[in-house]
A and B are shown apart, each in its own frame.
Chain A
Amino acid sequence: MHGIPISYFLILSAILFSLGVIGVIIRRNVIIVFMSIELMLNAVNLTFVAFSNHLNNIEGQIFVFLVMVVAAAEVAVGLGLIVAMFRLRETVHLDDIRLLKW
């Protein structure tokens, strides 16, 4: 009896990653761009877990755990930045936030 091929998980992960990239490109709302970045992180996590199962190696899942911690920290700091930027500029629109551009 065969299970699910590993390639199915890779294809699903590729689709989710591409959707995240498209979201980052086409959306102009900082919060939704953030959600798209979360989508990309999750897609990579799925690849890690799939290969962890394929190679029978626990390190992939340890790495996924660490990626989740980093994602949580990133969201905490990033949303703090968004709140600070909103209080300063009263906008979450990416094209209005160009403090470092000229």
Chain B
Amino acid sequence: MLQNILFFVFAILAVAGAVMVISFRNPVYCALSLVLTLFSLAGEYVLLLAHFIAIVHIAVYAGAIVVLFLFVIMLLNIRREERAPGSIKYMVYLGVPLGLVLLYELVSIGFREFTDVYVKATDIGTVEKIGQALFSKYVLPFEITSILLLVAMLGAIYLSKQKLEIVSK
């Protein structure tokens, strides 16, 4: 019972954060709402007994990605862009119904199936089990990950240090 209450608390917080992300005009508020959603999702991972994923999720997303977002928002000083109109007006009236149709399609599966299977007590989500799998069977993807991160780092540095001279309007 307590688990269900916790699930609903985290779910409501996550959905509220997501709604705030897509509705606030100020990007800083959006980034802070994203933190709310990400922390709630970490709570959901704990309820699914995926402890390693929950910790890594907080460390990577709240610790790195959102901080990077905030750095860029503050670096660019884009507050004057806030109320710029789109080229297609009334995009909201097109986008929200499309999103609701997608929501109906996705949710109908969730309501129809997997309703009588429950979260099992299992130890596959512990740091020990994930580490054993990551360093034995999945060691090649894990090592390739490091190359991906290196390439991403080089790309980001190259893009930021580049001299940009062509200003065409």
Q: Which residues of A contact B (CB under 8 A)?
A: 2-23, 25-29, 31-32, 34-36, 38-39, 42, 45-46, 49-50, 52-54, 56-58, 61-62, 64-66, 68-77, 79-84, 86-89, 91-95
| Measured CA separation A82–B19 after assembly (Å) | 24
Q: Are A76 and B68 in contact (CB under 8 A)?
A: yes
Query: How near does chain B come to A17, taking the closest CB pair, in angstroms?
Result: 6
- 8 Å CB interface, B1-56 against A: 3-4, 7, 11, 14-15, 18-19, 21-22, 27, 30-31, 34, 37-38, 41, 44-45, 47-50, 52-53, 56
- Chain B 42-86 per-residue mask, 1 if CB under 8 angstroms from chain A, else 0: 001101111011001100110011001100110110100110101
- Chain B 89-113 per-residue mask, 1 if CB under 8 angstroms from chain A, else 0: 0011011101110110011011101
Query: How near does chain B come to A83, taking the closest CB pair, in angstroms?
Result: 6
- Shortest 5 CB-CB contacts between residues of A and residues of B: A25-B95, A73-B152, A14-B106, A23-B22, A22-B99
| Measured CA separation A80–B156 after assembly (Å) | 5
| Measured CA separation A35–B30 after assembly (Å) | 8
* Known contacts A53-B125, A56-B120, A79-B156; A9/B134 CB under 8 A: no
The contact of B50 among A52, A54, A93, by CB within 8 Å, is A52
The contact of A7 among B3, B45, B110, B164, by CB within 8 Å, is B110
Size category, B interface: 35 or more
The contact of A66 among B44, B94, B145, by CB within 8 Å, is B145
**Can you offer 11 A-B residue contacts whose CB atoms are under 8 A?**
A12-B15, A18-B102, A21-B98, A21-B102, A26-B91, A39-B37, A49-B45, A49-B48, A61-B125, A76-B68, A76-B152
Q: Are A22 and B96 in contact (CB under 8 A)?
A: yes
Query: How near does chain B come to A22, taking the closest CB pair, in angstroms?
Result: 4
CB closest chain-B residue, reference A91:
B81
Q: Are A12 and B152 in contact (CB under 8 A)?
A: no
* B contact residues around A56 at 8 Å (CB): 120, 122, 124
The contact of B119 among A28, A38, A53, A79, by CB within 8 Å, is A53
